Structure 1
């Protein structure tokens, strides 16, 4: 990576510069970047005895896929917002002298006609070499990242990641001490695409919410049939659900009544089926302004949260379970785990 010092561009001035000392920890530093349809997220971590420890992180809602479903292209405004965020990421990686990285882009760049051109522009303007990964790779990495939260006593689990432009769903089954993915699907539906398809997400009525669910249902019914076939014809009832997405972390924050989002209380927490249904019903009867005023939703998610709830409700209908575990982790953690395992450093005390 080019370490020449450059003046931070617009959007980078809010990045928190680490302490002056940039000595590498004994296990070295690894970086994972996930550029999705809605968010740009970065994690920098070092191996430790428990897997790895996060050294630095960054997350910004960029809405790269805004209006993509209507135009087939990434808009200039969306690309500019995203490049501003990516400059922050590039600066963090440079300040930390991170050498071992994997930087991935998902649904928006997969689907956009100008996705490859945007990737080239990112390289030219930020120095970051993004890799557009396919849906199978995305699903697999999300599963690796979330697997530590699968209940050790479970025989089966349904893992899902509700993104901005797509939703990955995986049926996992115990194989000895580990869990293996038996079946998976990637739905061409996420919080941004569903919200835009059904009126923009500001004024959501019970009728429009029902229409979202009707649109999503055939996708989940088809996958449930696939899982049932792989399960010897038995109904696809998992031991529990494991959700790794902004939708489930938001619902958890609302259900817990947090005055501000707290990852330490959300990541790994359990919700009952009744909890989720109650929060969804509550949000459906709030106005946009009331949703925006909730500290665990905010204005950036207020027009997207009910689209995520619609996706989650259809997942719960197709795969009924009494409990759901919430994961504030996923693709980036999967990337870091795989990089460290390749190097033989994952879980090593240094």
Structure 2
């Protein structure tokens, strides 16, 4: 029997991801994966547009992805676009161009669908148990928050407060000024009352961060303690005290200095300061001494659907 293969493309505001997999009963094998800092929201996200430069970077990367997909003979391609594209006035034209140039149909998902797929990915990683967890995925355009456990998502919402937006609004000086940090905190106070209300209702006892920023923060923590991440592991622990040391350090360093931190990667170096401020803000409401970092997120949520781990009407990939 010919193995079933699939390609998943996650067109995030900051990063485009490609994941090529072979699907098995209840699981999958990774053939190839890659992430590229396309920054499709750069220069236009605050104006609800995708700039010509951003489109060029996107098309260049998608051609590169298409070559890998064709090289593996994969015909099942599932592409998703999130905050930057769904909010751009020229987003539908952008998606149409992608279809014409690369024969890739892009599913522009709403915030609720995005949050549900992220939840499915985190659950697939084995990061959850019977207790209620707060899950968060910090994208470039939006941040998804989900409260739930290994059985169900009890509450979920997407907020347009992603790293690129926070960077554009608040991080004008490097290192960030105390005043800018205070303004960012005030902004979060204004934007997140729905989340705080939900935290009071469901009382999650743990925080799970999905991929992206959390991958890099855990890489930095592991590097500072001479620890190695296991290649077959999907969940990594970051002590709250360890995170707080890193977050405090990030506030005092400029970009060149941040790049020298072991575990830092160039595609995260700009947004990681505001992202860490966001995490610090959220931790005021979660009584936990450990952050759980899931390397699975939206892409793996799509795979979870493809292999039939669940049936989700409101986040359909068909």
Q: How does 1:118-129 map to 2 (within 5 A)?
A: 118-129=94-105
Change in CA separation of 1:204 and 1:184 when aligned onto 2, cut-off 3 Å = same
Q: How does 1:207-286 map to 2 (within 5 A)?
A: 207-229=179-201, 231=202, 236=203, 238-257=204-223, 264=231, 267-286=234-253
Q: How does 1:293-308 map to 2 (within 5 A)?
A: 293-308=260-275
1:163 aligned to 139, 142, 145, which one? Answer: 139
Q: How far is the alpha carbon of 1:153 from its aligned partner?
A: 4.6
Equivalence for 1:111:
87
Question: 1:261, 1:296 within 8 Å by CA — same for their partners in 2?
Answer: no
Distance, in Å, in 1 between the alignment partners of 2:288 and 2:310 is 38
In the alignment, structure 1 residue 205 sits paired with structure 2 residue 172:
no
Question: 1:154, 1:240 within 8 Å by CA — same for their partners in 2?
Answer: no
Equivalence for 1:11:
none
Question: 1:248, 1:326 within 8 Å by CA — same for their partners in 2?
Answer: yes
Q: How far is the alpha carbon of 1:262 from its aligned partner?
A: 5.8
In the alignment, structure 1 residue 321 sits paired with structure 2 residue 288:
yes
Q: Which moved further from structure 2: 276-285 or 265-274?
A: 265-274
CA offset digits 1:72-112 (Å, max 9, x no partner): 21100011001111111111111111122311100000111
Question: 2:139, 2:163 within 8 Å by CA — same for their partners in 1?
Answer: yes
Q: How far is the alpha carbon of 1:295 from its aligned partner?
A: 4.4
Q: How far is the alpha carbon of 1:257 from its aligned partner?
A: 1.7
Q: How far is the alpha carbon of 1:140 from its aligned partner?
A: 0.5
Q: How far is the alpha carbon of 1:148 from its aligned partner?
A: 3.2
TM-score by length of 1: 0.82
Q: How far is the alpha carbon of 1:300 from its aligned partner?
A: 2.9
CA offset digits 1:221-255 (Å, max 9, x no partner): 431213433x3xxxx2x231110032111111111
Count of residues paired in the alignment: 310
Question: 1:195, 1:201 within 8 Å by CA — same for their partners in 2?
Answer: no
Q: Which moved further from structure 2: 203-212 or 127-136?
A: 203-212
Change in CA separation of 1:275 and 1:342 when aligned onto 2, cut-off 3 Å = closer
In the alignment, structure 1 residue 53 sits paired with structure 2 residue 25:
no
Change in CA separation of 1:201 and 1:110 when aligned onto 2, cut-off 3 Å = farther
Instruction: Give the match's secondary structure for 1:97.
Output: coil
Structure 1 unaligned residues grouped into runs of 5+: 1-24, 345-350
Instruction: Give the match's secondary structure for 1:29.
Output: strand
Change in CA separation of 1:194 and 1:295 when aligned onto 2, cut-off 3 Å = same
Structure 2 unaligned residues grouped into runs of 5+: 312-318
Question: 2:125, 2:296 within 8 Å by CA — same for their partners in 1?
Answer: no
Distance, in Å, in 1 between the alignment partners of 2:292 and 2:308 is 25
Instruction: Give the match's secondary structure for 1:264.
Output: coil
Q: How far is the alpha carbon of 1:330 from its aligned partner?
A: 0.4
RMSD: 2.5
1:341 aligned to 308, 313, 317, which one? Answer: 308
Change in CA separation of 1:76 and 1:156 when aligned onto 2, cut-off 3 Å = same
Q: How far is the alpha carbon of 1:119 from its aligned partner?
A: 0.6
Distance, in Å, in 2 between the alignment partners of 1:262 and 1:155 is 25
